């Protein structure tokens, strides 16, 4: 299961009213079904198809949430790709632009359009998903750069909006056993799933990869009142990976 889907389920289990946004409505509807199957509240939950690389779509997401719920308490930005990334000397500009637009610009635009709502409410929690790649040596450029910029963006938003009761934090996942991470490596290397998982497990000090629920639990904490005094934080969920890399 992917991080975003697990987080939506955990939010629903805590009683949140969720607007599930995806470029593919069918994927979001699958998440909605799983929310109900796993004991989550689907009261007022809805699916909204949108391409968050377009500013008009980001504005429309915020408008739809306000129309349905009257407020926005949590903005959870979980999106990213590293497909096509390469070393600096070999990276096509169009791939740089594509990765930066999806990973970084989308989060900026969602924050831009959500912040006026949260500032008026004088309350809100923004959670952006980064990566340990942002804080450690990596062989490719655009993904690392985009995730590092997400860290900086979030810290700026936290400082800029603290006086309005708006918190902003970053989850920094390490090696997580998700379909995007595993299936891509199977395709690219021709190796089997067990080999890929074993190799990644051995890289983690704690001895195994995390899963999407580990990221989701962290998101629930950062969204909750228990984290009311936490803002501008980069929270690693990495089994100690940064102790080796960072």
What positions carry a catalytic annotation? 143
- Sheet harboring 74-77: ordered strands across? 74-77, 124-129, 166-173, 234-237
Structure tokens at 195: 């080999």
* Cα distance between residue 26 and residue 11, in whole Å: 20
In this structure, what DSSP letter does residue 235 have? E
* Strand ranges, E, within the chain: 19-22, 46-49, 74-77, 124-129, 166-173, 234-237
Cβ atoms < 10 Å from Cβ of 210: 21
Buried b (16+ CB within 10 A) or exposed e, 132-150: bbbbeebebbbbbbbbbbb
Q: Residue 49 corresponds to which tokens in the numbers above? A: 């198809």
How many contiguous H segments (helices) and E segments (strands) does the chain have? Answer: 10, 6
- CA pair distance 56, 122, nearest whole angstrom: 25
Q: What are 106's two structure tokens? A: 């989308």
- Measured between alpha carbons, how far is 98 from 209 in angstroms, rounded to an integer? 28
- Cβ contact 172:238 at 8 Å: yes
């Amino acid at each position: 299961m992917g991080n975003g889907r697990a987080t939506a389920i955990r939010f629903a289990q805590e009683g949140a009213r969720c607007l599930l946004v995806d470029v593919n409505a069918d994927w979001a509807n699958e998440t909605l079904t799983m929310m109900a199957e796993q004991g989550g509240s689907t009261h007022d939950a809805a699916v909204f198809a949108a391409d968050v690389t377009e500013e008009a779509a980001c504005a429309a997401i915020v408008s739809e949430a306000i129309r349905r719920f009257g407020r926005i308490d949590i903005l959870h930005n979980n999106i990213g790709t590293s497909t096509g990334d390469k070393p600096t000397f070999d990276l096509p500009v169009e791939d740089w632009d594509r990765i930066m637009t999806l990973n970084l610009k989308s989060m900026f635009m969602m924050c831009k359009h959500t912040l006026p709502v949260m500032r008026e409410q004088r309350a809100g929690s923004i959670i952006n998903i980064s990566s340990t790649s942002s804080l450690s040596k990596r062989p490719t450029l655009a993904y690392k750069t985009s995730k590092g910029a997400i860290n900086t963006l979030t810290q700026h938003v936290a400082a800029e909006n603290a006086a309005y009761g708006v918190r902003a934090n970053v989850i920094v996942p390490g090696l997580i056993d998700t379909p995007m991470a595993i299936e891509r490596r199977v395709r690219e290397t021709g190796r089997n799933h067990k080999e890929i998982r074993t190799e990644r497990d051995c890289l983690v000090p704690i001895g195994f990869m995390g899963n999407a629920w580990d990221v989701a639990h962290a998101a629930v904490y950062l969204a909750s009142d228990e984290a009311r005094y936490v803002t501008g934080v980069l929270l690693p969920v990495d089994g100690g990976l940064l102790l080796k890399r960072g």
